[in-house]
Structure 1
Amino acid sequence: MHKLLCFATKRTRCLTLSVSLIICLFIFSQPSIQRHIFGVCACGQCVADIFYDAWFRMHYDPNIELLLTKKNSILSDALYRWWQKLQYKSRVNYKAVSEMLFGIFPNEEDYSDAGPGRCRTCAVVGNSGNLNGSHYGVLIDAHDLVIRINKGPTEGFERDVGLKTTHRMIYPESAVDMDNSTYLVLIPFKTLDLQWLISVFTTKHIDRTYIPVKPTIKANRNKVMVLHPSFLKYVQEHWLQKHGRYPSTGFITLIFALHICDQVSVFGFGADKDGNWHHYFEHKKHPRNAGNHGGSYEYLIALKLHEKQGIRLYKGW
């Protein structure tokens, strides 16, 4: 009887140990769960540190799809209808386009390595005129990832905006050449944007959307990523509460950085010190931010994130 009891006890311990091991393996394979449990990264001050904050939790969804892949490319009817209303309605077969897309470009779920051992610092570099005279260049280049937006140049502006570019967020109407080491991150506002991306690296026949666009650009086809339409909807509805027709590329980039980085520094957002909205590489100035985007509301959210220590916002003055 004693031997049977010992055997039963050992069996129970082994079973408990096995279950515990399985649970641990599952936790360590899920970045979103890691962040909720550990609440830290290796940086010291981390984005994950503000998960306790009710305002942040109301806006931030750790499980949102960031990048479009073959695995998650099937869109719900509601998402597809929302996405198609953003810029340009098309009768193109989305399914056929997406299948062609993943026959050309990488089909990987990048940046899923969040955890207490990682410290990834990111600089999101907007195009505001408040960068002029800022001398932020060295500080920007010190980050692990430097994410630039649309056509924002570095040549001739190195002292204020830096030299380094690891990622560039674009759409067809804002496309520029980039070097072989830079990730091209497409923000797809319509199916035609996906077709344009395919065309750029193949037939080069698409030279117009609703305006003329570049039929080809210099870029590394092995470093192409496409944001998921659900991520755009999430930014518009969770973060911006539907202010503006759709979010700006700058604000989309900021929220993207919150999901892939442990520390986020933001440069070149908002108006200049005189209240004008303009690009650091242009002389034309506007007294207010106009267009399809809720620029003022976006900036208020950026200020709130700075206040909560989710980002560090550099104002340029």
Structure 2
Amino acid sequence: NHDTVLRFNAAPTERYEKDVGTKTTIRIINSQILASSTHWFNTSSLYKDVALVAWDPAPYAVNLETWYTNPDYNLFGPYKEHRKSHAEQPFYILHPSFIWELWDIIQGNTDEDIQPDPPSSGFIGIILMMILCKEVHVYEYIPSVRQTDLCHYYEQYRDDACTLGAYHPLLYEKMLIQRLNIGSEDDLRTKGKATLPGFSTMDCGA
């Protein structure tokens, strides 16, 4: 039982309730979800009755005006249309500098030079919940003994890059989250469950 549940992109609950539950409070979506007609953003129930948080992989240190006129995927048009027709629904777009500040944190926690590609939706969502919550439970972000090469539980698409990273710095993200885990090693190994402290509970000293 969780006070708030964050889900990612087009991840459904229908037909997977036994494993993932039914509750969704916040859904973080990349700009492809808004821009691509294959995701049915305007009509799908996935994006209704929840708070939405969108992000777009802008270049590092991009000028805001430049990004607005030339995003990676056109999220601003669909965003404005959705706000007009669903004015009561909370819907936010993350500032690109927030995304790259997270990348700086990942880079700052490894000795290796990482390609300047943006963090994954998963990592962005985890940090967002650590900002909002006192404690965060993350499931199968760090793979358990049940690990497969499936990219998503709801699709029959297989690629090890979904776990280890190709575009996103996934391997380094997961190493950092594993370091932050305050839960048991058994939970991590058997359930893929990491327990993370919210930032409001941390004492980083003077």
Output the TM-score relative to the length of structure 2: 0.65
Aligned partner of 2:154: which letter?
F
Task: Name structure 1 gaps, 5 residues minimum.
Answer: 1-141, 204-215
Paired residue for 1:243?
Answer: 114
Structure number with bigger Rg = 1
- Matched-pair contact (CA < 8 Å) for 2:31–2:73: no
Q: Following the alignment from structure 2 to structure 1, what is the Cα–Cα distance between the partners of residues 93 and 80?
A: 17
Task: Name structure 2 gaps, 5 residues minimum.
Answer: 35-40, 59-66, 194-206
Q: CA deviation at 1:305?
A: 1.1
Q: Following the alignment from structure 2 to structure 1, what is the Cα–Cα distance between the partners of residues 135 and 183?
A: 13
Give the structure, 1 or 2, with the largest relative contact order (CA under 8 Å, sep 6 or more). Answer: 1
Post-superposition Cα deviations, 1:43-92, rounded to whole Å, max 9, x if no partner, equal xxxxxxxxxxxxxxxxxxxxxxxxxxxxxxxxxxxxxxxxxxxxxxxxxx
- Matched-pair contact (CA < 8 Å) for 1:271–1:277: no
Secondary structure, aligned partner of 1:159: helix
Question: Kindly, what percent of the aligned residue pairs are identical?
Answer: 26
Residue 295 to residue 194, structure 1, CA distance change in 2 (3 Å): closer
Residue 239 to residue 221, structure 1, CA distance change in 2 (3 Å): farther
Q: CA deviation at 1:251?
A: 0.5
Secondary structure, aligned partner of 1:168: strand
Q: Following the alignment from structure 1 to structure 2, what is the Cα–Cα distance between the partners of residues 234 and 156?
A: 37
Paired residue for 2:198?
Answer: none
Note if 1:148 corresponds to 2:21.
Answer: no
Post-superposition Cα deviations, 1:126-148, rounded to whole Å, max 9, x if no partner, equal xxxxxxxxxxxxxxxx2111111
Note if 1:295 corresponds to 2:167.
Answer: no
Note if 1:199 corresponds to 2:199.
Answer: no
- Matched-pair contact (CA < 8 Å) for 1:171–1:187: yes
Secondary structure, aligned partner of 2:5: strand
Residue 195 to residue 298, structure 1, CA distance change in 2 (3 Å): closer
Secondary structure, aligned partner of 2:118: coil
Q: CA deviation at 1:198?
A: 3.7
Which of the residues 128, 132, 141 maps onto 1:260?
A: 132
Which of the residues 283, 286, 298 maps onto 2:159?
A: 286
Paired residue for 1:160?
Answer: 19
Paired residue for 2:192?
Answer: 315
Which of the residues 11, 30, 36 maps onto 1:171?
A: 30
Q: CA deviation at 1:257?
A: 1.0
Post-superposition Cα deviations, 1:282-307, rounded to whole Å, max 9, x if no partner, equal 12222343421121111111111114
- Matched-pair contact (CA < 8 Å) for 1:171–1:186: yes
Aligned residues: CA RMSD: 3.1
Output the TM-score relative to the length of structure 1: 0.44
Residue 302 to residue 202, structure 1, CA distance change in 2 (3 Å): closer
